[in-house]
Amino acid sequence: MARKTYIAAINEALFEEMRRDPMVLLIGEDVRIGVFAGTRGLHKEFGDKRVLDTPISELAVAGAGVGAAATGLRPVVDLMFGTFLYLAFDQIANQAGAMRYMFGGQTRLPLVYMVQNGTGASAGHHHSQSVHQFFMNMPLIKVIMPATPYDVKGLLKAAIRDDNPVIFLNHLALGGQRGEVPDEEYLIPIGQGEIKRSGSHVTVCSVGLMVHHSLKAAKELEKEGIDVEVIDLRTLKPWDEALVLHSVAKTGRFVAVDEGHMVCGAASEWAATVAEKAFHDLKAPVKRVTSKPVPIPFSPKLEKAVVPSPEEIADAVRQVLGTRVPA
């Protein structure tokens, strides 16, 4: 199996889906050039009618995607950075997410909003926020944030084929990460998480870059005799509640790790669900590890201080274990 970068896997998924279905088109800012490389080469093969550069007006571009999807096309709308979705909020929240319901199911909205999300490039507050929690709160919108090249390809292809609006978040820090990606056709079901590391003492649930931080923490804790199970949800909405609850039933302890903020965030949703539905399985209170409640700094050192680190995750695990290794 070939090893490919995260960004190359995105590029492959777009090529394959556009070749498979002539209704798939790509629109967005600088998509013909491919600022993030994921869209490079598409214009050369598919031309002006299916790869459209747009003006810098996120609200208008997002609305064009809604209209295109409602008329039977399958647009992928590339808005570059997650924070730019704020500028398109009305079209996503009031139109894309509600139209199929308000029209009584008479139309479909096969629409993907694709952006770079999160920290790791020292791109400053306007380009580095983790915005996924806002869209988790919107009815009928799916939210995906893959952590590996294999997952990003399989999930992007599944998102393009889905008949509902999808917010597809490619993590900004993972573009150059390499991993095994099959050449043959494959899809990953939306809403299906994966255990990236099996363990018996504590369950750590995360997504995106935090999956890699959690795995690093687990590797260090292994030296102390602590066996950590790491779950990568892959999809934030709908999220794989059953997988998490099954893991907690085994380990009895739960740590939620997310790059977003704690208040009304993804980690809080996971922690609340575990506390509500797995209370009698828990041997200790649940723990949340999230970013600090401040704007994302431009300074690389300060940026690292704001978001969860492998060391913070390891400390949280020690806390739920009471700093002792279970027998």
pLDDT score of 204 more than 70: yes
Show the tokens assigned to 128: 């580095």
Q: Does 220 lie in the same domain as 116?
A: no
In angstroms, the CA 26 to CA 279 distance is 46
Domain boundary among 150, 180, 210: 180
Q: Does 198 lie in the same domain as 96?
A: no
- Is residue 209 assigned to a domain? yes
Q: Which domain holds residue 247?
A: 194-320
pLDDT score of 327 more than 60: no
Any idea which residues carry the catalytic annotation?
127
pLDDT score of 137 more than 90: yes
Beta-bridged to residue 153, according to DSSP, are none
pLDDT score of 326 more than 70: no
Q: Does 217 lie in the same domain as 140?
A: no
- Is residue 185 assigned to a domain? no
Mean pLDDT, residues 179-196 taken together: 96
Q: Does 282 lie in the same domain as 260?
A: yes
With contact defined as beta carbons under 8 Å apart, do 188 and 7 qualify?
no
Q: Does 229 lie in the same domain as 157?
A: no
Q: Does 153 lie in the same domain as 66?
A: yes
pLDDT score of 35 more than 90: no
Q: What is the overall mean pLDDT for the chain?
A: 94
Q: Does 176 lie in the same domain as 36?
A: yes
Structural domain total, the chain: 2
- Is residue 113 assigned to a domain? yes
How many Cα neighbours within 13 Å face the side chain of 157?
Answer: 21
- Is residue 89 assigned to a domain? yes
Q: What pTM was computed for the model?
A: 0.94
Q: Does 143 lie in the same domain as 15?
A: yes
Q: What is the pLDDT of residues 92-131, one digit of tens each?
A: 999 999 998 999 989 999 999 999 999 988 888 988 999 9
Distances (CA, A) of 27 to 75, 123, 196, 240: 7, 24, 34, 31
Q: Does 205 lie in the same domain as 165?
A: no
Determine which of 32-36, 72-76, 143-147, 233-237 has the lowest per-residue pLDDT on average.
Answer: 32-36
Mean pLDDT, residues 42-57 taken together: 94
Q: What is the pLDDT of residues 62-84, one digit of tens each?
A: 999 999 999 999 999 999 989 99
Preceding omega of 165 cis (within 30 degrees of 0): no
Q: What is the pLDDT of residue 173?
A: 92
Distance of CA 259 to the CA centre of its chain: 11
Domain containing residue 217: CATH number:
3.40.50.920
Q: Does 171 lie in the same domain as 208?
A: no
Q: Does 138 lie in the same domain as 89?
A: yes
Q: What is the pLDDT of residues 149-185, one digit of tens each?
A: 999 999 999 999 999 999 999 998 999 999 999 999 9
